[in-house]
Structure 1
Amino acid sequence: MSRLPLPADWLVPDWPAPPGVRAVCTTRSCPAGDAPSAAPWGGFNLADHVGDAPQAVASHRAALAACTGARPVFLKQMHGCHVAELDAYAPDGQPADAAVTASSGVACTVMVADCLPVLLARADGAAVAAAHAGWRGLAGGVIEAAAQAVRRLGPHPPASAASATSAVEVVAWLGPCIGPDAFEVGPEVRAAFTAARPEAAACFSPRPGGKWLAHLPALARQRLAALGIPTWGNDGSPAWCTFSQPQLFHSYRARPVTGRMAACVWLQAGHP
């Protein structure tokens, strides 16, 4: 497949993924030759549920496939924890907030516009996964579900559920999301995390009126660390904040009518 060059500001993860694993996170920038969506969506929008013109979304999705050399599979994201297992024939629109595959040329894809995208890869290159981690999914265990799925999938499945959660080495990358200086939430959000994990309290800063600022990347890193998964990417610094950079990233809180970016991870076709 002939590939389009990636726009210069698309994010290519700097992580120790094995040979044959590829990943990218889009921005608002369109690949060469692809027209941006009209206002108010603007730029490169990959979501077909936000009111954008269907022909624009279809063009953008085709451009993403041309840039990656893989077929991105788009989910119907529900802010839950279900993981869809993808193969070469997997359709778009499956209700899930994470995807896993051991098939080459198929990109596990999650759409975001403030929520946190989490990409996972087995160190042996046998499988990859992507998770859409808004606060509901993150609190509910979407990262744990995706990690278990990617550890189970591959040529040599673990002998037991216990070994599936720890024996297979996995690495993770966190993409851009709303930052810890912008993500104001109510006390119910903090309670959803701290009820099961008291250490999550360190990821919230108090605000006037009983509100809190939540640190999504730190919450995700806590959970990944508990799974024994080393993590790269978003460290919570301003450079990764979607809300504070609405010209670069789609941000729902900055613009309620906006498009969606995509974070994709796939196994390169033809790689041993």
Structure 2
Amino acid sequence: MTLEILTLDSLPAKHGFFTRRGGASSGVFSGLNCGHGSTDQAEIVAINRARVAEAMGVAPDHLLGVHQVHSPTAIVVDSPMPEKPRADALVTATPGLALSVLSADCQPVLFADAQAGVIGAAHAGWRGALDGVLEATVDAMETLGAARENVVAVIGPSISQRAYEVGPEFMDSFMDNDPDFARYFINGTGDRLLFDLPGFGLNRLRAAGVGHAEWTRHCTFSDPDRFYSYRRATHAKEADYGRLIAAITL
């Protein structure tokens, strides 16, 4: 099966939000699992990642990523890295490198300033988004000459509000930061609430001053044929789950 790659005309750099279709993994990982942090066979994950690198037009070792830790840390890269640093976003102005992030409900966010020739990729779960990883990515792009008003940012497939049930203590984490964040929550069953992660991400990007921000409007939880989902796997009591990849290159 060929790879399925979601792209947007608004993002002015070669990029792709890859679905799970077209990979070599099997079982609960069936498809294009690109996460070495999963319990999938390492050699199969390497095959999947090589297919992504080929689709992006780079060598496998030029498909760069980080050891994601739900942090607000963004790093500047200009060459392949021997080891993955602990961070949640990368930016570069170096052609021939593909920046990538993994996700399975969290937001994969790709950035580009075509005029400056600067790109970025961020992994933004609720903690990273709340702590400022999206703003940190734009700040790092500025150090390479990007202008935030020229930056286009796109949020890829993520868990949607209708599927993201949380408890009141989760909402408290946001309210302690800014009471206005209550607008990203609606009532669920009992004391449960439903959180709008992509809506929150879009707000943070727009508040950071990017020129254009949008979400692809794909829900990872609700489409098992196309997307991996940590929450769906947890509900199904599966032993593990695959990781989707999003990538961008100059």
Q: Give your verdict on TM over 0.5.
A: yes
The superposition leaves residues 132-172 of structure 1 with CA deviations (integer Å, 9 ceiling, x where unpaired) of 01111111111111111112213xx8xxxxxx7x5x52111
> Per the alignment, in what secondary structure is the counterpart of residue 16 of structure 2?
strand
User: Using the alignment, how far apart are the partners of 1:135 and 1:68 within structure 2?
Assistant: 28
Aligned residues, how many?
241
User: Using the alignment, how far apart are the partners of 2:227 and 2:51 within structure 1?
Assistant: 18
Identity rate, percent = 37
Structure 2 match to 1:13? 8
Structure 1 match to 2:91? 100
User: Using the alignment, how far apart are the partners of 2:57 and 2:2 within structure 1?
Assistant: 11
**Is the 1:15–1:232 contact (alpha carbons within 8 Å) kept by the matching residues of 2?**
no
User: Using the alignment, how far apart are the partners of 1:53 and 1:208 within structure 2?
Assistant: 39
**Is the 1:14–1:232 contact (alpha carbons within 8 Å) kept by the matching residues of 2?**
no
Q: Calculate the TM-score normalised by the size of structure 1.
A: 0.83
User: Using the alignment, how far apart are the partners of 2:11 and 2:71 within structure 1?
Assistant: 28
Structure 2 match to 1:216? 197
Structure 2 match to 1:54? 42
User: Using the alignment, how far apart are the partners of 1:16 and 1:36 within structure 2?
Assistant: 28
Structure 2 match to 1:160? none
User: Closer, same or farther in 2 for the Cα pair 1:92/1:10, shift >3 Å?
Assistant: farther
Deviation at 1:196, TM superposition (A): 2.6
Structure 1, unaligned stretches of length 5 or more? Answer: 158-163, 268-272
Amino acid in structure 2 at the alignment position of 1:50: S
User: Closer, same or farther in 2 for the Cα pair 1:67/1:57, shift >3 Å?
Assistant: same
User: Closer, same or farther in 2 for the Cα pair 1:252/1:126, shift >3 Å?
Assistant: same
Structure 2 match to 1:124? 115
User: Using the alignment, how far apart are the partners of 1:47 and 1:75 within structure 2?
Assistant: 11
Which protein is richer in helix relative to its size?
2
Amino acid in structure 1 at the alignment position of 2:24: P
> Per the alignment, in what secondary structure is the counterpart of residue 230 of structure 2?
coil
User: Using the alignment, how far apart are the partners of 1:201 and 1:108 within structure 2?
Assistant: 33
Q: Does 1:263 align with 2:246?
A: yes
Structure 2, unaligned stretches of length 5 or more? Answer: 235-239
> Per the alignment, in what secondary structure is the counterpart of residue 208 of structure 1?
coil
User: Using the alignment, how far apart are the partners of 2:180 and 2:245 within structure 1?
Assistant: 30
1:148-187 matches, cutoff 5 A: 148-154=139-145, 169-187=150-168
**Aligned alpha-carbon RMSD (Å):** 1.9
Deviation at 1:181, TM superposition (A): 0.3
Deviation at 1:40, TM superposition (A): 1.8
User: Closer, same or farther in 2 for the Cα pair 1:251/1:134, shift >3 Å?
Assistant: same
User: Using the alignment, how far apart are the partners of 1:61 and 1:16 within structure 2?
Assistant: 22
User: Closer, same or farther in 2 for the Cα pair 1:258/1:248, shift >3 Å?
Assistant: same
> Per the alignment, in what secondary structure is the counterpart of residue 108 of structure 1?
strand
Which stretch has the larger CA shift, 188-197 or 39-48? 188-197
Choose the corresponding residue for 2:66, options 56, 59, 75.
75
Deviation at 1:89, TM superposition (A): 2.8
User: Closer, same or farther in 2 for the Cα pair 1:16/1:50, shift >3 Å?
Assistant: closer
**Is the 2:202–2:214 contact (alpha carbons within 8 Å) kept by the matching residues of 1?**
no
User: Closer, same or farther in 2 for the Cα pair 1:201/1:234, shift >3 Å?
Assistant: farther
**Is the 1:76–1:94 contact (alpha carbons within 8 Å) kept by the matching residues of 2?**
yes
Deviation at 1:92, TM superposition (A): 4.6
Deviation at 1:199, TM superposition (A): 2.6
Q: Calculate the TM-score normalised by the size of structure 2.
A: 0.90
Q: Does 1:233 align with 2:215?
A: yes
Choose the corresponding residue for 1:42, options 17, 27, 30.
30
User: Using the alignment, how far apart are the partners of 2:24 and 2:142 within structure 1?
Assistant: 38
